[in-house]
Chain A
Amino acid sequence: MGRGPSFWVAMAALVLAASCYPAFSDPYTIGNAAYFMVWTFMAMGLGIVWGYCGVLSFGQTAFFGLAGYAYGVVSINLGAAFGLTWLALVLSVTIGGAFALLIGYFMFYGRIKGVFIGIVTLSVTLVLETFMAQTAGPNWRIGDARLNGFNGMSGMPPLTVPWPGGDIVLYSGTALYFVLLVMVVVCYLGLRMLLNAPFGNVLVAIRENPERAEMLGYDIRLYQTLAFGLGGALAALSGTLYTAWGQYITPSSMGLTAAALPIVWVAVGGRRDITATLLGSILVIAGFQTLTIYGSQYALIVMGALLVFTVLVTPDGLISTAMHWIGSTLRRTKR
């Protein structure tokens, strides 16, 4: 995947369709589509860490939440003038990524394997949630930003693009949609290149057989840590964009339910290929949104059932399996 003319034709067609989409749609659905795209970064990050590198992380929401709070603190203190919110974005993604590198260093250089990684990452995110939930008092403030404990932090400025004749404020709407679309496309292509490069091949080699990869002379700890840091930075990007989008972040964004959601998207969508992860998670998020509107109580039950079903019946994920099926059918008809 990711090489050859058919890939680029499909890619260009998709991007074109996505750019034309706002012309045929109402503002509410455009806002919704932008909201779905906010989450895709976290899904792609988990796709790399879990699907490519074989490291199951339950803690992506830790980086998500940490970066969300970091964006709040930095942007409230700096303000939104001169596009300074983008500096806040860069800073909070860096903080989230650095935290992921630190956790990754301790885990992979400590030679933790398999299920233990899941437990450690889950513990990290739950402890962060507990910590943020108790920051209610007036003494918990950084500069002008109050952390507000369980009620969450609000009042940070949304992203703004400096523009001659008045800044463009990226509230939910068409402008935000296009900015996010560009970010998703750039991010996807970058990851595609990275994963097609030797780096991606080494990650897959580690997933398939860590001992063999090590015998071939690769320092698997370094590769795993780097992949984990990258996944964390992507989750942090999602967190930052989410906070800027809703101007709101709470500790429960790091709770058990929140931590489960990225796993659901990636597992159900497909994790062995970044394209399947991206398309699958958008579909699953959209489906989940619809479910929440029409039967909010039952949404989580359906999610859980879907997860169990996927694991038992199509371990590669629904979208991956469907893509393989379509691919093999096409090949058969060509013959």
Chain B
Amino acid sequence: MDFFHTIFSVMYQFGDAFAFLVISCAGLAVIFGMMGIINLAHGEFIMCGAYVTSAAGRAGLPLPLAILCGALAAAIVGIVVERLVIRHLYQRPLDSIIATWGISLIATQGVLILLGPTMAGVGTPLGSMALGERSYSIYRLVLFATSIGLLGSLYLLFYRTRFGVISRATIQKPAMARALGVDTRRVYGLTFGLGAGLAGLAGGLYAPTMTMVPTMGATFIVESFVTVVVGGADIFVGAAPAAAVLAIIRASLTAWYGHLFGQIGLLVAVIIVIRVMPGGLSGFLKRFQK
């Protein structure tokens, strides 16, 4: 029986890390993969989602609805930001990094001034279950299932709906899409909003497990960037397998040496991966498809 417990513990650690990486990088990967824009305000969209979720949760909304509110709020903010700033910078991707960084500074400090250094959160729901000598949070298992569901629904959205076809066309050949009557500006705006909404969703999902501070976005940002770098531009053949690989590395290093070595291991993995395959995992896998 002990053997089974060990296996479950390892699987649980892996699932936890995998869910965190997938959920926190999905928004970033959509915006980067679809638009080629690195959104350094990603962490602030996550923070926005988390704050709205907590506020809604404390106002009495059931948690799933509150999380949806958080995602929606972040998506709306994302569309506004795209219209005001990002829209002017599609020709200058490097400058768009700087601009989104400026937005992130404003957002972090603005929230600190308006709402104070910390905010009351909502408790982790669903309690925990005991197995062998250790206990496991059930909510973390729900998060793992959610991350799988998220990947599935993104796949359906991009490969089985009209919006997906139009957005992929806009990404691949913007001029041709425009000639065929696609409103590419609207597609870019919606895609950015979708990415921001996914970031908000990440914030909402992890809101019950974290302390609410204005700088909480920073806890996500390294992991999500690392996943996107290792994955490359495609979210399905890139980010998802990258998250799996990195989750194995992080779960095992964390289990043996502690949290810090998990993070350092991630960084070393990134540097090695990009030295070996410059296009990330998706570039590497695509070479085999040809």
B108 within 8 Å of A by Cβ?
yes
Query: Are the CB atoms of A130 and B260 closer together than 8 Å?
Result: yes
Query: Are the CB atoms of A312 and B85 closer together than 8 Å?
Result: yes
Residues of B within 8 A of A301 (CB): 105-106, 109-110, 113
- Residue pairs across A and B with CB atoms within 8 Å: the count is 118
Query: Are the CB atoms of B109 and A304 closer together than 8 Å?
Result: yes
Given the contacts A119-B228, A298-B113, A311-B99, A304 and B222 also touching, CB distance less than 8 Å: no
Query: Are the CB atoms of A307 and B98 closer together than 8 Å?
Result: yes
Residues of A within 8 A of B141 (CB): none
Residues of A within 8 A of B151 (CB): none
Complex alpha-carbon distance, A335 and B94, angstroms: 39
Residues of B within 8 A of A110 (CB): 271, 274-276, 278
A101 within 8 Å of B by Cβ?
no
B225 within 8 Å of A by Cβ?
yes
Complex alpha-carbon distance, A40 and B98, angstroms: 20
Contact partner of A120 (CB less than 8 A), chosen from B109, B264, B274, is: B274
Given the contacts A124-B267, A311-B99, A304 and B225 also touching, CB distance less than 8 Å: no
Tell me if B's interface is mostly helix, strand, loop or mixed.
Answer: helix
Residues of A within 8 A of B113 (CB): 297-298, 301
Residues of B within 8 A of A28 (CB): none
Query: Are the CB atoms of A111 and B93 closer together than 8 Å?
Result: no
B93 to chain A, nearest CB (A): 6
| Segment touching B, from A8-16, A172-180, A189-197, A255-263 | A255-263
CB-CB contacts of A296-323 with B at 8 A, as 1s and 0s? 0110110111111001100100000000
* Number of chain B interface residues as a range: 35 or more
Tell me if A's interface is mostly helix, strand, loop or mixed.
Answer: helix
Query: Are the CB atoms of B38 and A118 closer together than 8 Å?
Result: yes
Q: Counting chain A CB atoms within 10 Å of each CB, which of B215, B263, B274 scores highest?
A: B274
Complex alpha-carbon distance, A103 and B267, angstroms: 12
Q: Counting chain B CB atoms within 10 Å of each CB, which of A56, A116, A119, A130 scores highest?
A: A119
B39 to chain A, nearest CB (A): 10
A-contacting residues, B68-113, CB 8 Å: 85, 88-89, 92-99, 101-106, 108-110, 112-113
Query: Are the CB atoms of A123 and B278 closer together than 8 Å?
Result: no
Q: How many residues of A contact B (CB 8 A)?
A: 41
Given the contacts A116-B229, A119-B229, A315 and B92 also touching, CB distance less than 8 Å: yes
Residues of A within 8 A of B112 (CB): 297
A112 within 8 Å of B by Cβ?
yes
Given the contacts A56-B94, A123-B267, A311-B95, A111 and B278 also touching, CB distance less than 8 Å: yes
B: which residues have CB within 8 A of A? Answer: 32, 36, 38, 85, 88-89, 92-99, 101-106, 108-110, 112-113, 215, 218, 221-222, 225-226, 228-229, 260, 263-264, 267, 270-271, 274-276, 278
10 sampled A-B residue pairs with Cβ under 8 A:
A56-B94, A106-B271, A110-B271, A115-B32, A130-B263, A260-B105, A263-B98, A298-B113, A303-B105, A308-B85
Given contacts A298-B109, A301-B113, A306-B102, 9 further A-B contacts (CB under 8 A): A56-B98, A103-B271, A115-B36, A131-B260, A256-B215, A260-B105, A304-B104, A308-B85, A311-B98
9 nearest A-B residue pairs (beta carbon): A307-B102, A304-B105, A304-B106, A110-B275, A300-B109, A308-B102, A304-B102, A111-B278, A115-B38
